[in-house]
Structure 1
């Protein structure tokens, strides 16, 4: 499989690489780690690094080498010989990049999410990998390409963020081994920690305090939830892309097994939801019920409905997941 993917890369004059919509550190780190490595190894190829949305790169990830090379897929007019999808389980998650995929002669996928069906010609899918960045790093190494220094830092950022700073259940021996390899090749873990976790704007901390103040539990304290309205973000002066870590505030409640954080969008007529599990319970099934997906311990979704409407449906499902009576759930805002 890896040899066949390399052959497609070698045979392509033009390549477009994209991660998923609302990109996180793993999607961006994987796009940059793979893209920059291929640019250095194949300097004569036309390689485009795409954003699935029209939004700019989230502030906390702009430190990564090559982040200024990322362009919105809607502005890319090429018909590439090869489209490479990273950290994307379904075409719908590619958003605007899906149109580029459809214009491409060949499609390759690198991913660590479970997939209902494969959409690529060749897919290197490793669901046991803690981050897509690990798959990219191993693929490059097997091809004789070593990601070093700033490029290695991009991949390390993907690994650090998708393991929750190595605090999630997916932080296994392979994840630590991959991190060790990347640091040995010049990745800078202190820079990742500083930029992603230790450079919060005061405005974001004000929003975080609002979210903390709204945390409630149901199902005898086994399910926690909180939320932020779009108006909260506007009042605090916070952009939507800064909210990724708020679900971990809810997750940190003692005794909680699963949690949900909702963020209002489009005038609070829709929501984006983040789900987390502290143990073996599979929250991706809840996300799938809303048309989303992810991993057993970390999943997400979007829903056409208000925060209250979404909580009314989701909280009984979460209560049932932890073995409690869903009819006992009372939603409070």
Structure 2
């Protein structure tokens, strides 16, 4: 990993125009990695642009450089290097068509076991808790100074992907990295206020509705629930406000795995699997649905209705 980190750093020092990519419906890991990386590139005097196919949730406004994120596909014009962060493949990144036949060097930095190693250079560390932990190591290997704002961005990713250090992704390396980031000046209070203390009455009412739908069929070891676009409209909140439900469901007893399904735009269904069981690999199930992720946390996006997606998943479980 250290050799790859040094190769990437050497390439970047000789590059001029660089773009960063965060995945659609961005979370704190993909954004935290991008914001810290953008600041690193700025210190080298590089021209930097950041692309994300969908808008950034307002709660991440505390991150430095967040204003740079654009949905403009022309972001990639004349770029000689494109770094994709926290994306197992270019489809998930939302750029597979935009980068088709592009001459730029692709750098792939990630921590997902299902990563397709699509870059010209790939720094993929599957035992890292988050992509920001990988980026933190990249900075350390190359003796790059981590400023307080970079540290805040990196810690945001670690808190996001470990569910505030409560899930199985939490490890001694993630805790050591977090300690080092706090020592570097990471603003724990700002992160906590934005990501943890951000539940309005309307949000909690919708959470209650979604949790009231929790179902477990007799022929399945999976509990699931769902939200619709109509739910969001009626409660006047954004899709991002219910992202935490997937991790919350991982705390339930009486089922080996959980699934949270959401209706999203264009007739699509987005699903998020979670498990705490060592004998279940939800990434394998997500991959069969066209997605991917980690053994204990994975997701997918597909066409269909909530009902037929659930039925398909239960059928896939029965085939194992």
Question: Which stretch shifts more, 168-177 or 64-73?
Answer: 64-73
Deviation at 1:115, TM superposition (A): 3.7
Cα gap change, 1:161 to 1:236, in 2 (>3 Å) = same
TM-score (norm 1): 0.89
Rounded to whole Å, the distance in 2 between the matches of 1:75 and 1:142 is 33
Residue aligned with 2:19, SS: strand
Q: Which residue of 2 aligns with 1:31?
A: 34
Q: Which residue of 2 aligns with 1:62?
A: 61
> Structure 1 residue 188 and structure 2 residue 191: aligned?
no
Residue aligned with 2:108, SS: strand
Q: What are the superposed Cα offsets for residues 16-72 of structure 1, whole Å, 9 maximum, x if unpaired? A: 0112222111000001111112212x12x1111221x1x321122222121111112
Rounded to whole Å, the distance in 2 between the matches of 1:318 and 1:239 is 31
Q: What are the superposed Cα offsets for residues 157-196 of structure 1, whole Å, 9 maximum, x if unpaired? A: 0011001111111101011011001001001222211111
Q: Which residue of 2 aligns with 1:324?
A: none
Q: Which residue of 2 aligns with 1:209?
A: 208
Name the count of aligned residue pairs.
316
Residue aligned with 1:84, SS: strand
Q: What are the superposed Cα offsets for residues 231-261 of structure 1, whole Å, 9 maximum, x if unpaired? A: 1111111222222112123222223321000
Q: Which residue of 1 aligns with 2:98?
A: 99
Residue aligned with 1:299, SS: strand
Q: Which residue of 1 aligns with 2:272?
A: 274
Q: What are the superposed Cα offsets for residues 85-115 of structure 1, whole Å, 9 maximum, x if unpaired? A: 1111111112147524743421111111124
> Structure 1 residue 15 and structure 2 residue 18: aligned?
yes
Rounded to whole Å, the distance in 2 between the matches of 1:293 and 1:77 is 26
> Structure 1 residue 46 and structure 2 residue 47: aligned?
yes
Rounded to whole Å, the distance in 2 between the matches of 1:318 and 1:73 is 40
Q: Is the 8 A contact 2:114 2:292 kept in 1?
A: no
Q: Which residue of 2 aligns with 1:331?
A: none
Q: What are the superposed Cα offsets for residues 206-235 of structure 1, whole Å, 9 maximum, x if unpaired? A: 211111111122358842110011111111
Q: Is the 8 A contact 2:87 2:115 kept in 1?
A: no
